[in-house]
Amino acid sequence: MNCMIFYRQQGLAYTADKLNHAYTSLLEILNITPRQFTPVLLKVLLKQALETREWMCKGIFDSRAKDYSNPFRKNGLRNQ
């Protein structure tokens, strides 16, 4: 098989492989079967993911705001 064809096929399969891996990993982490993975559960998980993202972004923003308001930040290091 030509190498270019092989790599092209692998590239096309990558997205599906990544999705399948994420799905099976989620089932394993939650310790559930594919039948137990319902649209309702997906909605709950997506809501939790959004809440986690918002919490992380707020923490980053608050941390950086604290850093930028710190008066010691204005002190530069001097070369000796």
- Tell whether 80 is covered by a domain: no
Domain that holds residue 7: 1-32
Each residue's pLDDT tens digit, 27-63: 999 999 999 999 999 999 999 999 999 999 999 999 8
Count how many domains the chain has: 2
- ∠ at Cα 37 (26, 42), nearest 5°? 80
CB contact at 8 A, 73 and 67: yes
- Tell whether 53 is covered by a domain: yes
2 and 28: one domain?
yes
**Model-level pTM greater than 0.75?**
no
27 and 44: one domain?
no
Each residue's pLDDT tens digit, 66-80: 777 777 766 666 665
Each residue's pLDDT tens digit, 13-26: 999 999 999 999 99
* Distances from the Cα of 10 to the Cα of 3, 4, 7, 19, 35, angstroms: 11, 10, 5, 14, 29
25 and 49: one domain?
no
10 and 28: one domain?
yes
- Tell whether 76 is covered by a domain: no
